[in-house]
Structure 1
Amino acid sequence: MKHDHFTYRISWSPEDGEHVGLCAEFPSLSWLDKSPEGALAGIRRLVAEVVQEMTASGEKVPDPIADRSYSGIFKVRIPPAAHRTLVIQATEEGVSLNRLVSAKLCA
């Protein structure tokens, strides 16, 4: 079932005083429950229902993040001064700019 591949997250909601279940592919959906297990079960059921409704009405269901292919390459635009600063830092550390920025992003 496609909805089993979606990215689910459970966190505590201080505002609601309950655990909230979320799905990254469906940011408008959430489920509150007293237990984290209940929040996960609830959001999974809700997503399954929404996927079923979308499929029945011919809407495109989002591809699960986990099932997508990633190249490992993305481009980011930064101000020229920040670019220069990063090049200097990379040079001083004896690493490539790519390795420096990758390390900063993954830290």
Structure 2
Amino acid sequence: MTNLPTPAVAAHYKYNVSWSPEDDEFIATVAEFPSLSWMDENQILALTGLRDLIAEVIQDMRDSGEEVPVPFSVRKFSGSIRVRVSPEKHRDLTIAAADQRVSLNRYLTERLASC
């Protein structure tokens, strides 16, 4: 990824554009840079404005030797999630899994899949 030109890297991030009734404009956000956004009356310009800003930020980070966030689209995920719950919730979930005659892991996986 680091060998790609900055605009190409900027295009790989997870963008979202939605209407902001409070601002009466579209707001573009990017998951990997949660503190940055761009607003515009035009939905496409909100997105392109933010993408251009991200390209500038990436270049600044590269120039100063900072680590650039890896886009979600190319990150490697293990598939393993550790979740801490109260002992009472753990008991309740274990009972629910037993009622379904499945392992706790399978029960939780199926519950998460339905979200």
TM-score (norm 1): 0.92
Matching residue's letter, 2:18: S
1: CA distance, partners of 2:38 / 2:31:
13
Instruction: Return the structure number with greater helix share.
Output: 1
Partner deviation per Cα, 1:9-57 (whole Å, 9 max, x = no partner):
1111121111100011111110001122111111111101111111112
2: CA distance, partners of 1:101 / 1:39:
38
CA RMSD of aligned residues (A): 1.1
Counting matched residue pairs gives 107
Q: Identity of paired residues, percent?
A: 48
Q: Which residue number corresponds to residue 84 of structure 2?
A: 77
2: CA distance, partners of 1:14 / 1:96:
45
Partner deviation per Cα, 1:40-90 (whole Å, 9 max, x = no partner):
111111101111111112111111111111110011111111011111111
Structure 1 unaligned regions, length at least 5: none
Matching residue's letter, 1:80: P
Structure 2 unaligned regions, length at least 5: 1-7
TM-score (norm 2): 0.87
